[in-house]
Amino acid sequence: MTEHNGPAHTTVYADKHQHQHQHDGNGGAHDEHENRQLGGYKATIHNPNTSTEAKEHAAEILAEHGVKTDYPTHQSKEAQQHEHHVIGGYKATLHNPNVSDEAKQHAKEVLKEHGFE
């Protein structure tokens, strides 16, 4: 068992899970513990026997800690869906006879910026 002389605190994350941490004054034990936890979340993402929900949760926790993964989180899926809707709106603008030429030109520019020509 490791003894720590520093103050203890609890970290509560966005999804309401929490971890208790004990600081040793120089961050060593805390950093090592957190690195192991994050490593576990990375392993969860790559484990073929892990559920989609667990992988999404792991990706969200890693994102909260600034660790980028290729696994899409629920938040990134919502952002992608929103972007698809926005792009669809600009495409519809091009075909709407009630839209001004200026608006159509703007829609063309936005679509070109997003790789649609």
Give the pLDDT score at 5.
Answer: 45
Same domain, yes or no: 67 and 40 = yes
In b/e form, how buried is each residue of 43-71, taking b as 16+ CB within 10 angstroms? ebbeeeeeeeeebbbbbbbbbeeeeebeb
Average pLDDT over residues 73-79: 65
Q: Is the alpha carbon torsion for 33, 16, 80, 108 positive or negative?
A: negative
> Are 59 and 106 contained in the same domain?
no
Would you place residue 28 in the very low, low, confident or very high pLDDT band (cuts 50, 70, 90)?
low
- Name the domain count of the chain: 2
Rounded average pLDDT over 79-96: 88
Between these two residues, 75 and 95, which has the higher pLDDT value? 95
Shared domain check, 60 and 99: no
Q: Are residues 31 and 56 in the same domain?
A: yes
12 and 45 fall within a common domain = yes
Residue pair 41/61 in contact (Cβ under 8 Å)? The answer is yes
State whether 49 and 96 are in the same domain.
Answer: no
Range of the domain at 88: 77-113
Whole-number Å distance between alpha carbons of 61 and 54:
11
